[in-house]
Structure formats: C-alpha cells, structure tokens
Structure 1
Amino acid sequence: MDDALLRAPLVTPTEHLRATAPVGLQEAERLNALPPSDYWLELARELDWFTPPVVGLEGRFGDFSYFRGASMNVSVNCLDRHDPAKVALHYEREDGLSETWTYGELTDAAARFAACLQDLGVVKGDRVGIYLSNTPEAFIAIQACYRIGAVYSVVFAGFSAAAVRDRLQDAQPKVVVCTDATLRRGKVIPLKATLDEARVGVGSITAVIVARRIDARAELKADEHDFHALLSAQTRRADPVAMEANEPGFIIYTSGTTSKPKGLVHSGVGFLVGTYANVKWSLNLTRGDVYWCTADVGWLTFPIFALVGGLAHGATHVIFEGGIDTPTSERPYQLIAKYGVTKLFTAPTALRMLRRAGDDAVVKHDLSSLQLVSLVGEPLDPETWHWTQGVLGAGQIFVNNTYGQTETGTAWASSMVGLTPTRPGACGQPLPGYRAQVRLEGGGVAEAGELGYLTLTEPFPCLARTVWGDHARYEQVYLSDFPGSYAASDAALIDQDGHLWVTGRVDDVMNVAGHRIGTMELEAALITHAAVSEAAVVSRPDEIKGSVPVAFVVPRAGVVGSPELERELSDAIVQGVGSIARPGRVVIVPTLPRTRSGKIMRRLLRDLLEAGEVQGDLTSLENPDAIEVVRAALQV
C-alpha cells in the first residue's frame, strides 16, 4: 500500500463532537485497556435487565457464552424505556408518502402485533420470516418477534423467488410477514408475488401476514392475513418474554455465490449489547439527534445501526423506502434539510454517487445540521473521504469510516466519536471489547504496515454463534484457518498508529510477480484522477506474473473514454502504487454491476473477464443491464 496513505495526518474530532462525547478521554482509555470479558460485563449494565449479568465470557470460539444466566428483553430496551411522546421514526418513500411514529405508538404497535403472532400459534423459538423493505412494519414486526422470543429471519427484498425459497426452506418459519410490493426507482417490485412462488413446498409456513402498502385491494389467500386489519382488531398487548442472554434472536443469511447461503445465528441479547455499544462509540447517538441510516433492512447494517442499536439509544430515526437518488440525486440533501439530520450512516458507494452528481447540488440545500457521517460496507478511498468532509460537510463535520461483517454483528473497528482521531481511508481502530491481529500465511503476526489476514482473537457477545443447522460448517469456515481465532477472510494491515486498513476479501488480493497487492490501493489511485467517478479492479491470470490487475472505470459526467485516457489511468496506478501494479488493461464503461445496496459486484467482473459469462448467485444484482455493457466493452 502507498506509504503516503499510511502516514497521512490524523484528523481529530470536531469541537462539538468532543464536547458531547459519552465519556472523557481518560475513561475511554480505561475501557480500551480492560480485558474484553470485563469490558462487556461493565457495558452491559447500562441496559435494562430482568436478571442482571454477573459473569462475562465463558468458553472459547465455537462454544462460548456471555452473561450466562442473565435475562432481558430486547424490545423493552429499544422501545418501552424511551419517552413515549418522542418521535421514533420519520418514514419517507420515494414517491413522497411519509409517516411519523412516536416511541409510544411504535411500542404499542409492536406489543399488539406480538399478540397477533401469538394468536397465530407463534411461541418462543419459532421462526418468523421477515420479507419487508424499509417500512414502519419492519420495525413493528421485528420488535414484536423480540418481545415474544420468536427467532426472526430477514430476507432481502431484492432476492429472486429461488433465493427466497432457499432461505425459507432452511429456516422453516411458521409465519412470514411481507409487503404486497415496494418501490425502487419508480418501479413496483412485487414482493408478495415473489413470496407466492418461493413458498411452494415449504410446509412449515402456516400463515402469511401481508402489509398492503401499494395496492390496498391486493387479493389474499385463505392462510393470508392483512397486517393492518390484524393490528387494528388486536386489543391485547403481549408481555415481554425474559430471554436468556445466549438464546438465539435471529438468523441472517449471507449471499450465496457457488454454495448454499449460510444462516448465521445471532444471540438476541448479545446482539443488543454489541450494537448498543457500537452505536455509542461509532455515532455517539443521543436522544437529541435526528439520525438517518441509509442501509436496507435486508442487510445487517440496518438492524445494527437502526432497528436495534439505534433504537436502544432513543434517537429520532429517518427511514427511506426506495432508491435514495429518486426522483433526483438531490433527494438525500432534501431529506437532510427537511428533518435537520444531525448524523448520517451510509456506505462509500452512496457518497460516490452524490459526488458524481456534482457539487452544485450540495449548495442548494441547508445541510448545516449535519455533524457526523459514519460509513461501512466497503473500502473508502481518501478522495471520497475528503469530498465528504470538505464539500458535503463544508469542513464542519467528522467522517468516521468503520469496518465490520455480518458475522461480527457490529462495525467493530471505528473511531470513538468525539474521542479518537481517524486517518482518511482507514477504518479506525478496534473498539473496546475487541482484539484484532493481522496474521501471515504461516500463522505469525504481521508487522505494522504489513498486509495479511485479519483475525479476531477473543469472542464477543454479538459474534454469530453458529450456522443454522450446521455448526461444523461454522467451525470450518471461520475457525479452521487460524485455530483459536476467528478468521474474517479479509486482507488487511494495521498502520504504525494502530489504524486498520481493509483492502478487500482475501481473494481480492492479487499476487503480481510475487508482490501481494490489495485492490483498494489500486482503486484509490484511480479515483484520485479528475476523470474518474468510480473504479473497480480485479485480477486476471497471467502466465508470467501469475496475475495482473484489470481496471474497470466509470468516468465522470461529460468525460469521454479514449485510448489516451486509458493510458493516463494506467499511469495513475503506476504513480500511486508502483510499476509492478501497472494494469493489463483499463476498461472504461458507463456503469458497473452492483448490488441493491450499491456495492460493485467484482466477482461478476472477474467472471466476465475470465469466462465471458457470469456464474453463481445473481439475486442481489440491482442492474442486470450492466452485464451486457461490460461484456461489450471487453470485446472492443
């Protein structure tokens, strides 16, 4: 990695964030120094318990517990304990529909919907499928499951019927909650019709609850119920069930590529403890904040930073259903100004999308309320960091890049907002309660600045406990590469100041003539070029060098591709990384295949490059037309 990136000046917190930090710097240092077990036990006591915890960690990776014997209810901590008159949700849909929900209204709806589930035969431990987009019903249904101890499983609203069926067959839910449809960039996405196809042959499903948000007259079958009719008729409020700290709370599936999706099982209470801490440090979210998490409910970022961790702090949330750049790319700015958003949690892709739309759109709107932008999801290039801080935030905000995984249940690397600095492009440092090491292939520990395999050396409460129905697979995937540690399968390094840099998946690290190079540094070198809006780099096999990089570049508006530009971009990589990294080819395209959450699907680029066709799971692909666009560009 470019040494200049690793030695760029640290950026300190803004004065406002320092003044509102949850603890003082000396206290933060004390917490960081605590053994993880002691830290989590101390942190957990900030929440409301039925039976308070007296022990922290017991056991080891693959078979561990936290707070054994203690019990609480997640929904009580997320809903009941907050001021009922305070606004919990400002909901917006891309067509302009909006709703406002107070904590009192949300608590009442979740308690009554929990009673509806009980009336349909759902008891503690039963699975409930959640096939919803970013709607108030998602908050109601998930918190209702927490209230009665049902194990919910979120299914991403962008999946195909085949992908939905895989997840239903594995989880075997008794009830599925869905919307009739959702909107996405002006198109109606028929969720109910997809579910009708997907549930064929899944015998566990005894009832489907449909929230009719697009077509109030959508036809329902004999075992199907209208969400709002059930809720309106229900007068009983379900009592919160005491859940032991290690009992399962939900199942979330990783996307399948060439194998069956993994149903990761998270403890309900452990997840709450971890996400509560994550939001405390990575956002310093307070009851006075108006906060917008732009993620989709189908990805774990949304439960971490909104549905569970966010609600646990009692802030007012903005939630948005649809494409945030619809009907225009100025929509995010309009929402920030309308609600006075103080803190934003998003992904680097979303910021690059805003940047591509031009700086003129930013100055049209009053964004002065914004104090913090936190990020997760993929490597963040330093130029996007500086644009976010300098243009979007007018030099007055703090940009906090973080790192985490579905498996870890939190973005565990981050700045402690208001307390610790950041370095543009890095992911912050391990938060209290986490112990990270970068390991080499032989098992040794990497030196500062040395690229290797990212691992975590001690368990924590929000780590996924198993793969649903297949614990042997869990141990093989996560615990076999470096015995005694959790292997993230991500390539990373830790710089001289302890800041984490994640360069991509292990298979995104290419070996070029004996040199290990991460895709992040190559992409960062490209994005600094004035003509580049987005870039993705993948490796291509090479008989002499082993592999060579191939760069795919989306130009900024008004820029036309040419051989001269391709040479310039190739030279930009050489200047930024070194001659060893010169790409075998630079491919200029108007679009790239991406997921609905905005991530570029680099594995599809590799498929097209090597085989001329894509393979594996395409259910999360947002823009299928991009496949032919890239294929045509490769043939030129």
Structure 2
Amino acid sequence: MTDSLNQLISASLLPLRKQCYSRERAEELLAARALHDEDPDKYWAWVAGQQRWIRPWTTLRSGGLTDFRYFEGGLINVADNCVDRWAEDATAADTAAIIWEGEPGDSRTVTYRELAAEVSSLAAGLLDLGVTKGDVVAIYMPNLVEAFTAIHACNRIGAIYTVLFSGFGADAVVSRLRASAAKAVVVADASYRRGKLVPLLDNLRTARRNLDHVAHTIVVDRTGRQVPLQRGEVSYAELVSAHPGGTPVVPLEPNDAAFLIFTSGTEATPKGVVHSVGGFLVGTWANAHWQVGREPGDVYWVAADVGWLTFPIQAVVGGLACGMTIACYEGALDTPTNERFYEFVERHGVTKVLAAPTVLRMLRKFGDELCARHPLPQLKLVTVQGEPLDADTFGWASEHLAGGVPIVNAYGQTETGSTWTYPVAGVDDLKAGSVGRPLPGHECVVVDDNGEPVPPGTKGNLLLTRPFPTLARTVWGNHDRYLSTYFGRFPGRYATNDEAVFDSDGHLWVLGRADDVINVAAHRISTMEIEAVVTAHDQVTEAAVIGVPDDTKGTVPIAFVTLMAGADADAVRADLIRLTGEELGGYARLARVYPTATLPKTRTGKIMRRLLRDVLVTGRPEGDTSAMEDPAALSAVVTAIAGSAAAR
C-alpha cells in the first residue's frame, strides 16, 4: 500500500461495532449474505418476495450486464407497494407517511390513507388530461408533499416521470424538457430558498416558449399567491378535487421504464438515465431496509433535494415501500439561523437522518457549543452519501452529534439507482471514510488500467461485475451512449469511473472520480488523498483539491479551503503546504491554497470541483452550472483567487 493510502486509511477510527438494533436484524442480514453466497439471484428473489405482486414473476433474471431483465412474467405497480398496501392496512393507514415543513415554518402531516387518496385523484386527473402509460411527466418543484404525490400518480398509471432540480433556470429546464419530450409538467408557482422566492412557474413559462410538445402544466400554489393561470395551465388543487373517485393502479411489466433522471456534467446534451419499474422498487426497498432499518416509532429525514436521486431512493420509493414515516424539509438547512437542522430534528422527533457529508461539515463549522445545546436524545442513526466522507468529520459527528450516534457512510451513483456498499449499522464494523462491504446481491472488483484485479491496498478502477435490479437500463433515446459510457473501457463490466481500494479487512474505500486523479511529475495521486491531509487540519472545515496545468510538472495540486471562524488564513496556508509535502511527499505538496468563504456545490451538497478548475484555468466556468446551489459561491471563489494574486 502506498504511503498516501496508508495516510488516508490510518486516519480512520478503529473499527467500532455499535449495538445491534436487534438479534433478529443481525440474523436476517447473515441469512441474506448466505443467500448471496449461494446465488445472488436467490437473494433478489427473497427481496422481491417482500413486495406485493399483481401477478407473480416466472423468470427471475435473464441476460448479462448490458441487457439484463428481472422478474419477467410478473406484473407490479410501484404506487400500489408504496402507498396503497399501507393505506389498506388497518394498523398503518392512519400512520403519518409524510411530515413536511416549509422554510417559512408552515407544516403539513399526511397519513398513508390521505396520501393514497390524493395520489389516486391526481392520477385520474392526469389521465383526464390525456397523459397515459409511457408518456413523460416532468416534476419541477422543491421538497413538497406534492412531489411525492406527483411521482406516485405517474407510477400509478405507468407514466414516466423525470424530476428537475428546483434550482434550475429556464435554459436548464428547456434542455431537459426537450431531451425527455415531456408531455406535461407539474410545477410549483415558486419555492422558498434562503428567505427568497425562486420563480419556478416563471422559469417554466419562459422555457415553454421554445417547446411545442409540453401540452399541459399542472400548477401547485405553494405560496398562496393564487397566480393567474395561462393557457395550457391547470390548478393542481382543482385537478385533484375534480376526481375524488381516483383511478385503479395499472399493472406494469417490471422492466418497463419508470423514470429518467438527468446527470449533470460537461456534455452539451443532458444524459437521461433510465430506471425500471420493478427493479427500482425492489432495489430501493432493500436499500432503505438495510441502510436505515425501520423500527417502531421511527421518523426518517432524508435531508436532500427531491431532484437528487437519493430522495426517490430513500424517501419517495424505498422509504415508503418500507412503510416508514418520512420527514421532508423544503429549504436551506441554515435558514433563518444555524439552528434550523437541530430544531427540525427536535420539532418532528426525527430518529434517523440521511444527508450529504457536507451537512455534517456544516454542523461541525457551526461549532460544538451549538451542538451541545441540542442533545437530540431520540436520534439513533445518521447515514451519509454523495461524496467521500473525511475521517475528521466522521470523528466529530461520532463524538458530538446526539451524544455519539452511529455514522454510516454509503456509496452509490445515479446510474446504480441505489447505494450498494456500506456497513449495516448495528451489525457491521464502522471505519471513518470506508464505505464498508458490498451489500448482498452486488459484486465488484478493483482493477488496474488493463482490467486485471489488483491486491488489497492497491488502488485501481472500481467495476461492477454482475447486474442487479436498480442498475440503469439505458440512456433515454441513445442506447449506444449508454454502452460506450459505462461498458466501453472494460467490456462486459460496468465502469463506475471511480477509483477505489480494498483494505486488508475487505472494506472498500472510494477515492473519487478517476478523472480527479492527477499526474504530478509522473506520480499519480488521487485528489481525495490530498484532501484527507488538508481536512485533518483543525482549522479547516471543508476542502476541495484540484489539479491544474504546470509548465514544469505537468500538473500541480491546488486547494480551496473554508476555515473555522477566527482562523489565521496565512498560517493555515503555510501549514497545509508544509503538511502535504511532509505526509504525502514533495510531489503532492500543494502549489497554492485559496481560503474562500464558501465553495460551489450542487443542491445535493457535492462540491463542484470542475467549476473550481475552470475558474482557475480559464477565468470562468466552461460547463454546465445549472445544478449549482448558490451562484454567489462562484463569486466568492473568484474573489479568493483575485485576493491571493494581489497578495503575491
């Protein structure tokens, strides 16, 4: 193992086994792993057996990684499993399905019985507008109850939904509506974000001027302003109230397309990844079942945006399929004050939280004193995903948050449709920064650039070696693009395009995107390895390391950092340059360090390193910026670069 990887992995806490939820849970996981060891498809048969089928499947799986199909011969409906089955259960019907709070402080609680009625009525309304099985419906709104109902109304009738980030402007909306050929859009008139109104309906109206195929717009009156509707627009509330009888669920073939989600990147044409009806339901049920583990009295808060696939996985589909109570929050987690996260957990009795690692870094930055004022005795689990979790943030949260709550670090991708590797809390050992071992039903390998497996302690390319139900089936309208993107480099195996390493205990460490590996004077190193040293500094709360061109070394590492309040920026800068050289080697020594007030992130909390590289190299962002949470962050970076140049 290289010295830098030793540095990264040795920064983890000693393996720590948390108290089991129950002996039964541990035994169930051991049984699931035994099924996998016998035959992974037997495990998926068990998972499928936990769902309600309209007609049982006859063939569990056919085909390989590029052309697989699951549960052939069967018929199923996602809304039936996520909503109806619980509404029909005398015990569950009046249990809260969704506890919602808006940024201004308004709130709403919806039971499974109420959710089923609204979903069915909206589905009937969509049918009345001419939306049928196979039509695409775009959902352009923030975290609202209506996001749940719109998704499941589509599921109920077999329409294909696509969720657009509520932070998208008109241009980003146009490109995705055009690429999906959406027939209808469900939109909120506006959303609240950091105390301001985001004009979603106005953005959509601008977008529709260039689109003829969008026949209907269903408008949710989020703000109560009763905005006058224009031609082609209908009121969500009126559409629902006009169809009190609802409509029956449509039996669907499990491999039918359920939804498409657009990945952001540098491509001119958005890439719509397609997930299936039965596969996504079965896999996300398993995801929520193992990752958070439903217990009596649980309130599960998925602190993410509905436009991030994590939200449908863990909340809208996986969470409801498990019969959980889902907490849902509309706005920014630091609005109107830094206490909002803690207050939300207290107010709604949240017992388990899923978030991006940036949320924990934010809480750490807010300070130990604020954390101590909110002990959160009911909080039992925090699980994070979306980007690597650094050891220092893991250690802080494990020690301070809720008096020592287990922190589960999970890994997955938009294309995998689920997080497929993580330690199961209460059963598996936890290591800071590790994403545990692959869950039953999943198999992977780490290989060199020639496709040959590498031994433990050696980093390489992370590949998936067999299909599983939630894996994406295609790219919307362009299957060749799907094949070339994910199977072109390593034929017959799915390329995650991430680098990773297995340690000697069999734990997987994902080191970041393969294209974030930099080559400094013929030495290859992952930017995450350098970030692990940078974030270990007690005055650094967040960091992003990128590689930029250099005439002598080819590429040199540069760090952007946010600091604790009161930190001496010049002293920290000198420390980081010295430490990276001492601990990783002279070739990994930071060439420059830019302290900045904030970093550009997506609404999911992922740092947009590509934009940092663009601004530093060309002076402006070159690629897609539509997923950026706060445009002011980019201005802060430009100011930091200019200030550093002036100082030199």
TM-score (norm 2): 0.95
Give 1:74-113 correspondences, 5 Å limit.
Answer: 74-82=78-86, 83-113=92-122
Given that 2:32 and 2:43 are in contact with CA atoms closer than 8 Å, whether structure 1 keeps it comes out as no
The code of the aligned residue for 1:547 comes to T
- CA distance, structure 2, for counterparts of residue 41 and residue 536 of structure 1: 42
Given that 2:18 and 2:429 are in contact with CA atoms closer than 8 Å, whether structure 1 keeps it comes out as no
Give the C-alpha shift of residue 285 in structure 1.
2.3
The code of the aligned residue for 1:65 comes to R
Query: Residue 47 of structure 1: which of 26, 47, 51 is its match?
Result: 51
- CA distance, structure 1, for counterparts of residue 13 and residue 24 of structure 2: 24
Given that 1:93 and 1:321 are in contact with CA atoms closer than 8 Å, whether structure 2 keeps it comes out as yes
Q: Please name the residue that 1:604 is paired with.
A: 611
Q: Does 1:401 align with 2:409?
A: yes
Cα-to-partner distance string for 1:431-479 (whole Å, 9 max, x where unaligned): 1111111111111112112111111011111111001110011001011
SS of match in other structure, 1:85: coil
Q: Does 1:322 align with 2:353?
A: no
Q: 1:558 to 1:170 in 2, by over 3 A?
A: same
Query: Residue 121 of structure 1: which of 130, 141, 159 is its match?
Result: 130
Given that 2:100 and 2:329 are in contact with CA atoms closer than 8 Å, whether structure 1 keeps it comes out as yes
Give 1:403-418 correspondences, 5 Å limit.
Answer: 403-418=411-426
SS of match in other structure, 1:507: helix
Q: Please name the residue that 1:356 is paired with.
A: 365
TM-score (norm 1): 0.97
Q: Tell which deviates more after alignment, 541-550 or 171-180.
A: 541-550
Q: 1:418 to 1:473 in 2, by over 3 A?
A: same
SS of match in other structure, 2:383: strand
Give the C-alpha shift of residue 361 in structure 1.
1.0
Given that 1:286 and 1:314 are in contact with CA atoms closer than 8 Å, whether structure 2 keeps it comes out as no
Cα-to-partner distance string for 1:390-445 (whole Å, 9 max, x where unaligned): 101312x2110000000000011111232211211111111111111111111111
Given that 1:438 and 1:451 are in contact with CA atoms closer than 8 Å, whether structure 2 keeps it comes out as yes
Cα-to-partner distance string for 1:193-213 (whole Å, 9 max, x where unaligned): 000011223222211100011
Q: Please name the residue that 1:495 is paired with.
A: 503
Q: 1:20 to 1:512 in 2, by over 3 A?
A: farther
- CA distance, structure 2, for counterparts of residue 372 and residue 20 of structure 1: 18
- CA distance, structure 2, for counterparts of residue 597 and residue 251 of structure 1: 18
- CA distance, structure 2, for counterparts of residue 30 and residue 579 of structure 1: 47
SS of match in other structure, 2:25: coil
Given that 2:66 and 2:492 are in contact with CA atoms closer than 8 Å, whether structure 1 keeps it comes out as no
- CA distance, structure 2, for counterparts of residue 23 and residue 151 of structure 1: 38
Give the C-alpha shift of residue 22 in structure 1.
6.3
Query: Residue 14 of structure 1: which of 13, 18, 31 is its match?
Result: 18
Name the Cα RMSD after superposition: 1.5
Query: Residue 631 of structure 1: which of 605, 622, 638 is its match?
Result: 638
Give the C-alpha shift of residue 577 in structure 1.
2.7
Q: Please name the residue that 1:237 is paired with.
A: 246
Q: Does 1:265 align with 2:274?
A: yes
- CA distance, structure 1, for counterparts of residue 7 and residue 21 of structure 2: 28
Q: Tell which deviates more after alignment, 304-313 or 18-27.
A: 18-27
- CA distance, structure 1, for counterparts of residue 500 and residue 224 of structure 2: 48
Given that 1:110 and 1:144 are in contact with CA atoms closer than 8 Å, whether structure 2 keeps it comes out as yes
Query: Residue 593 of structure 1: which of 580, 600, 620 is its match?
Result: 600
Q: Please name the residue that 1:580 is paired with.
A: 587
SS of match in other structure, 1:216: coil
SS of match in other structure, 1:552: strand
Q: Does 1:69 align with 2:73?
A: yes
Query: Residue 298 of structure 2: which of 266, 286, 289 is its match?
Result: 289
Give the C-alpha shift of residue 160 in structure 1.
1.4
Q: Please name the residue that 2:39 is paired with.
A: 35
- CA distance, structure 2, for counterparts of residue 19 and residue 339 of structure 1: 28
Give 1:295-374 correspondences, 5 Å limit.
Answer: 295-374=304-383
- CA distance, structure 2, for counterparts of residue 475 and residue 430 of structure 1: 24
Residue ranges of structure 1 left out of the alignment (5+ in a row): none
SS of match in other structure, 2:412: coil
Q: Please name the residue that 1:464 is paired with.
A: 472
SS of match in other structure, 1:57: strand
The code of the aligned residue for 1:262 comes to K
Given that 2:179 and 2:270 are in contact with CA atoms closer than 8 Å, whether structure 1 keeps it comes out as no
Given that 1:57 and 1:66 are in contact with CA atoms closer than 8 Å, whether structure 2 keeps it comes out as yes
Q: Please name the residue that 2:60 is paired with.
A: 56
Q: 1:197 to 1:287 in 2, by over 3 A?
A: farther
Give the C-alpha shift of residue 591 in structure 1.
1.8
The code of the aligned residue for 2:50 comes to E
Q: Please name the residue that 1:525 is paired with.
A: 533
Query: Residue 625 of structure 2: which of 618, 624, 631 is its match?
Result: 618
- CA distance, structure 1, for counterparts of residue 23 and residue 584 of structure 2: 39
The code of the aligned residue for 1:619 comes to S
Given that 1:291 and 1:316 are in contact with CA atoms closer than 8 Å, whether structure 2 keeps it comes out as yes
Q: Please name the residue that 1:131 is paired with.
A: 140
Query: Residue 172 of structure 1: which of 165, 181, 190 is its match?
Result: 181
Given that 1:264 and 1:468 are in contact with CA atoms closer than 8 Å, whether structure 2 keeps it comes out as yes
Query: Residue 431 of structure 1: which of 430, 439, 446 is its match?
Result: 439
Cα-to-partner distance string for 1:300-359 (whole Å, 9 max, x where unaligned): 010000000011111111100010111111111111112221111001001101110111
The code of the aligned residue for 1:170 comes to A
Cα-to-partner distance string for 1:280-316 (whole Å, 9 max, x where unaligned): 1111123531110011001101000000001111111
SS of match in other structure, 1:17: coil
- CA distance, structure 2, for counterparts of residue 344 and residue 146 of structure 1: 26
Give the C-alpha shift of residue 96 in structure 1.
0.5
SS of match in other structure, 2:171: helix
Q: Please name the residue that 1:185 is paired with.
A: 194
- CA distance, structure 2, for counterparts of residue 34 and residue 53 of structure 1: 21
- CA distance, structure 1, for counterparts of residue 225 and residue 633 of structure 2: 34
The code of the aligned residue for 2:619 comes to G
Q: Please name the residue that 2:518 is paired with.
A: 510
- CA distance, structure 1, for counterparts of residue 212 and residue 245 of structure 2: 29
Q: Please name the residue that 1:485 is paired with.
A: 493
Q: Tell which deviates more after alignment, 6-15 or 486-495.
A: 6-15
Give the C-alpha shift of residue 183 in structure 1.
0.3
- CA distance, structure 2, for counterparts of residue 455 and residue 618 of structure 1: 28
SS of match in other structure, 1:430: coil
Give the C-alpha shift of residue 28 in structure 1.
4.0
Given that 2:184 and 2:217 are in contact with CA atoms closer than 8 Å, whether structure 1 keeps it comes out as yes
- CA distance, structure 1, for counterparts of residue 8 and residue 546 of structure 2: 21
Give the C-alpha shift of residue 5 in structure 1.
4.0
Cα-to-partner distance string for 1:86-127 (whole Å, 9 max, x where unaligned): 011110011101001001000110011100001111111111
Q: Please name the residue that 2:89 is paired with.
A: none
Number of aligned positions between the proteins: 634
Query: Residue 223 of structure 1: which of 217, 224, 232 is its match?
Result: 232
- CA distance, structure 2, for counterparts of residue 35 and residue 16 of structure 1: 26
The code of the aligned residue for 1:430 comes to P
Given that 1:21 and 1:417 are in contact with CA atoms closer than 8 Å, whether structure 2 keeps it comes out as no
- CA distance, structure 1, for counterparts of residue 20 and residue 455 of structure 2: 36
Question: Percent identity among equivalent residues?
Answer: 45
Q: Does 1:454 align with 2:458?
A: no
Q: Does 1:379 align with 2:388?
A: yes
- CA distance, structure 2, for counterparts of residue 433 and residue 25 of structure 1: 12
The code of the aligned residue for 1:607 comes to D
The code of the aligned residue for 1:305 comes to Q
Q: 1:206 to 1:29 in 2, by over 3 A?
A: closer
Give the C-alpha shift of residue 237 in structure 1.
1.5
- CA distance, structure 2, for counterparts of residue 320 and residue 490 of structure 1: 31
The code of the aligned residue for 1:169 comes to R
